[in-house]
Amino acid sequence: MPPKYPPQVRKGDSSSSAVQSQEEHRQWLDDADFTLLCDSLKVSDAVREGSWKIWQKVSADGCERIIRNEKVLGICIFLAAVELNDLTFTITELLKSTHLNVNMFTGYIKEMDISMDTITTKVNNAVTRLKTKYNTLCTLYQKFQRLFELIFIKEPSNVQISSDISPAALFKILWITFLLVKGSVLQMEDDLVISFQLLLCVFTHYIKILPLPLLREPYKSAISGKSDKAQTRSSRRGRNRNPHLSKQVESDEVFEILCKENGCNMDEVKNINITTFVPFLDSVGISTTNGIPEEPVLSKQYEDLYFNSKDLDARLFLDDDETLQPNMGGCVELEKTPQKNDPEEMNLIPPQTPVRTAMNTIQNLLNSLASASDQPSPTLKAYFNNCTSNPTRAIQERENNLGQIFKQKFAEAVGQACEEIGYQRFKVGVRLAYRVMEAMLKSEEKRLSVQNFSNLLNNSAFHESLLACSIEVVMATYGSISRETDLSFPWILEVFKIEPYDFYKVIESFIKDEPSLTREMIKHLESCEHRIMESLAWRSESPIYELIRQPREREGHVDQPEPTSSLNQPLEHNHTAADLYLSPLRSPRRNVPTSRAIPTLSVPESNNVPAPLPQPTQRSTSLSLFYKKVYRLAYLRMNTLCSKLLPDHPELEHVIWTLFQHTLQNEYELMKDRHLDQIMMCSMYAICKVKAIDLRFKTIVTAYKELPNTNQETFKHVLIRDGQHDSIIVFYNLVFMQKLKTNILQYATLRNPTLSPIPHIPRSPYKISNSPLRLPGGNNIYISPLKSPYKHPEGLLSPTKMTPRSRILVSIGEQFGTAEKFQKINQMLSSSERLRKRAAESSNAPKPLKRLHFDTDGPDETDGSKHLAQKLAEMTSTRSRMQKQKQDEEMDTTLKEEK
């Protein structure tokens, strides 16, 4: 049985009671199993006390699936140590003490969070980092094994590496060398790309210094062939062989083979070798020309590194240690990747390893920029020269300044030895930025028939945002796009000190003017735009509040950011970055096209021509478009949540949306330093409350957690006031309801107030498919856009040219489709649609969490919400009396008429 809470000392207790309580306090701290575990991990008294309190909470909450053992006690120690920044043990030591592997360990933590909602954001980040690092190490070790088998002969006959080194020992030496360089060079050790490139440098180094009979082809020929040629040339010239030159030639050949076999860019790997790997070898005393380091020496150096970082001991991969086993046995309800049952479907697409996928993605980006330069093209220079004020010097100075800042910040995040790697990535981003800038200006010239873009090209916010967007594409590509790292968005905004609202202005034009972007990259940039709209643009220092507050006086009222009358109108995607960065104004009258209200992008040649002044009855185009997009994003999220939680009350969706939209438009201060989804959940709860629908906040939060791209921080860490944060239920009671109480009570009547129009939801302009899309329903049918074999001189695909005959061509499989094949396809598509509808209809509201930290066993609301319920009850009673009185009067009238 788990130990119980000790009695608490209260005011008025006798001194003997206090002494007894202190003795019991020492008893529960001296629990034998707990003390033994703490002693083995050398934890401090503060961690002991903190972990015991966590265990008390776990046992008091009574989770049926979590029992008292060394595993759970060890996790409690880990949680307390992370929270207190007091780790005295390595992760491997903890796993050994609790007999857990990494997956089991993180699985237990996840189970505790689901059952009791006790895991803080700080702990959650630490666990996420641990899993990412472990997954990266697993991937690299598997790749290391494969490369070793392809390069070296395991049991070479009559080959002596050295007196005490066997092929098995060499395997260990190479792996530990890699771990040592990775741990020494990289501060951010979950960087898969740089880690793999360092691994290739390790292999290249040992290929050069090992005996030739130990090598497989083509590496053996690469070394022997180059050496023979170098020796022949030297003998002909009558001078000794230059060993440094020979080794350099050998390295180039080996790099070329390794990079080609693994889809890497050779220039990048050679750069990492020169700037990072070779200096590392010198720093640890490993010769770059000959000699194999001893395994104990390398192991001792790595051990010091491992203990200092309190990390996983990755040497244990060599021993197939249980703590690093990738199996899922014993893990508690861990998410597993769905397995495909159809073998034909599995063979449609060849398997891609994480390393191969990352390398291919990077190479595709570099190939697309092969003809681009990190200097302005002649076309761009012509645009610069056409400006009233030539921006060339300012652009160059800005680029140089941001380049130094980026290099420094990249090194701080990844590792000081990676400074030049960061700068190379920056220069790739510069090449992309110049190409997109040129495409944007060409589009503007075609649209406006002008060539003087002085206002735009002298706008620093435009240049910084465009460069930041280009670098974000590069960083996302090197980070495998979807994987969260320390360099993920919005890291680049923080590096360049760019306002998220300014960055948002360039995204749509960037996507339209850079056709080489992959479907995954377009989705990534769209997710960046969503993050800006949902929270980043609403930070307290954001310029958006000043834009909203600027008086747009009309008939004595302040004009709203975007009138509700425009919500159900289609969202036009013809706005360019130039429109938004120059903050043009448009008339609120619907009969005036937006494009007509855009002022010229050029600066008048004559200083005597006054610039047009904004009219007081106009709104900012950038703010108007921003609000339209926010409304659509907000409605789509709310619609998804309503379909999960209120399938039996579809009529409430429109009411919830009206309150939600009213808050965003009229009480926008509630969004300051908060999240769009917090307002959404509060709006849903408030309407359900006044409509007497039983929907608790814990149920809303449970359903919200199942939505894509959500974070527990959204409902656990909500701003209340003055830097104070608490759960979303506290925010609802103390802030949201207090601010909107009068408005919420309007919906308690039988007749709702005027409802806001539902936003027009068009197909996203970003859904550009570059790869086949599989139709739902489990059928092997894919749709892919027709690609033209013709290309422009710039290397971009030209629009497909169709002839009258080619418009009607259809290809299915290897032959022209017969009537039976078309009928079968129609049946499969119909079946897929039925399956989709059936799945949507059968979706039930999620079960609430067993216990949420911000919920109590009693009512969901505090006194503030009780006051609202009391008001609602009074209104309901009054309404009932009025209805009864009206019925009585009608009855009296009827009786009189009958008489």
Q: Which residues contact 33 (CB under 8 A, 6 or more apart)?
A: 70, 73
Residue 476 confidence (pLDDT) above 90: yes
pLDDT digits (tens, 9 = 90+) for 546-589: 888 874 444 344 455 666 656 666 566 567 888 888 854 444 44
Bigger pLDDT: 572 vs 212: 212
Helix residue ranges, H only, 186-242: 192-209, 219-237
Structural domain boundaries, residue 474:
354-552+574-578
Q: Tell whether 360 and 317 lie within a shared domain.
A: no
In the numeric block, which tokens belong to residue 691?
């409509």
Q: Which of 195-199, 383-387, 597-601, 893-897 has the lowest mean pLDDT?
A: 597-601
The reply to whether 142 falls in a domain is yes
Report pLDDT digits (tens) over 41-53.
999 999 999 988 8
Residue 180 pLDDT > 50, yes or no?
Answer: yes
Is residue 527 in a domain?
A: yes
Within 8 A by CB and 6+ apart from 318, the residues are 171, 172, 175
DSSP strand pairing (619-620 vs 782-783): unpaired
76 shares a domain with 148: no
Backbone phi and psi for residue 558, each to the nearest 5 degrees, phi listed first: -80, 125
Q: How many domains does the chain have?
A: 4
**Rounded Cα–Cα distance for residues 899 and 896 (Å):** 5
Is residue 472 within 8 Å of residue 121, measured between CB atoms? no
882, 736 in Cβ contact below 8 A?
no
Q: How confident is the model at residue 211 (pLDDT cuts 50, 70, 90)?
A: confident
Q: What is the pLDDT of residues 432-441, one digit of tens each?
A: 999 999 999 9
Residue 569's φ and ψ, nearest 5 degrees, are -90, 150
Distance between CA 575 and CA 623 in Å, rounded?
Answer: 12
Query: What's the DSSP call for residue 797?
Result: B
Which tens digits make up the pLDDT trace of 833-843?
A: 555 555 555 55
CA-to-CA distance for 89 and 40, rounded, in angstroms?
9
Residue 537 and residue 646 in one domain: no
Same domain, 111 and 143: no
Tokens found for residue 789? 């074999």
Digit-coded pLDDT (tens) for 366-392: 999 999 999 999 999 999 999 999 999
Angle at 478 between CA 474 and CA 483, to 5 degrees: 110
Residues 462 and 540 in one domain: yes
Domain-embedded: residue 173: yes
Secondary structure E strands in 520-666: 553-554, 557-558, 585-586, 619-620
User: Does any domain span residue 615?
Assistant: no
Average pLDDT over residues 856-871: 50
Cα–Cα distance between 432 and 366 in angstroms, integer?
A: 10
Helix (H) / strand (E) containing 886: helix 863-898
Asked whether the beta carbons of 476 and 524 are under 8 A apart, the reply is: yes
830 vs 21, residue with greater confidence = 830
Structure tokens at 626: 């921003």
204 has a pLDDT exceeding 60: yes
CA 561 to mean position of chain CA atoms: 29
Co-location of 103 and 168 in the same domain:
no
Same domain, 540 and 508: yes
| Whole-number pLDDT of residue 404 | 97
Residue type, 661: Q
User: Are the beta carbons of 488 and 471 closer than 8 angstroms?
Assistant: no
421 and 280 part of one domain: no
pLDDT of 793: 37
CA atoms within 13 A on the CB side of 263: 15
pLDDT of residue 719: 96
Asked if residue 537 lies in contact with residue 544, where contact means CB atoms within 8 angstroms, the answer is yes
CATH number at residue 174: 1.10.472.140
Looking at per-residue pLDDT, the higher value among 103 and 806 belongs to 103
Is 815 strand, coil or helix?
strand
Distance (Å, whole) CA 126 – CA 464? 33
- What is d(CA 767, CA 770) in angstroms, rounded to the nearest whole number? 9
Structure tokens at 524: 């990534």
Residue 227 confidence class, pLDDT cut points 50, 70, 90: very low
pLDDT score at 125: 87
Q: Is residue 830, in this structure, part of any structural domain at all?
A: no
Tokens 């960087």 correspond to 191
Q: Would you say residue 396 lies in a domain?
A: yes
Same domain, yes or no, for 524 and 402? yes
DSSP 3-state of 341: coil
Cα 335 from Cα 788, distance rounded (Å): 42
Q: Which is nearest to 539 in space by CA: 473, 490, 574, 588?
A: 490
Closest CA to 204 of 248, 150, 143, 254: 254
**Coil, strand or helix: which one is 726?**
strand
**Residue of 580, 594, 637, 619 whose CA lies nearest to 759:** 637
What pLDDT, on the 0 to 100 scale, is given for residue 611?
40
Q: 144 and 190, same structural domain?
A: yes
Terminal Cα-to-Cα distance of the chain (whole angstroms): 81
Interatomic CA distance for residues 228 and 53, integer angstroms: 71
| Helices H / strands E in the chain, number of each | 35, 8
Pair 503, 407 in one domain: yes
pLDDT of 742 higher than 70: yes
Q: Are 603 and 453 spatial neighbours (Cβ–Cβ below 8 Å)? A: no
Element (H, E) at 782: strand 782-783
Answer whether residue 3 shows pLDDT above 60. Answer: no
Q: Which two tokens stand for residue 796?
A: 């971009």
Cα distance between residue 581 and residue 449, in whole Å: 19
Domain containing residue 386: CATH number? 1.10.472.10
Domain boundary at 719, 748, 777, which?
Answer: 748
pLDDT of residue 815: 42
pLDDT tens digits for 628-667?
Answer: 999 999 999 999 999 999 999 999 999 999 999 999 999 9
Domain-ending residue, one of 119, 147, 177: 119
Tokens in use for 722? Answer: 């003055």
Could you tell me the pTM of the whole model?
Answer: 0.78
In this structure, are 98 and 172 located in the same domain? no
Q: Is the pLDDT of residue 176 over 70?
A: yes
Last residue of a domain, one of 543, 578, 613: 578
Work out whether the CA dihedral 501, 503, 504, 509 comes out positive or negative.
positive
Average pLDDT, the chain: 77
- Cα distances from 463 to residues 490, 505, 559, 579, in angstroms, run 17, 12, 31, 14
770 falls within a domain: no
Evaluate whether residue 650 is within a structural domain: yes
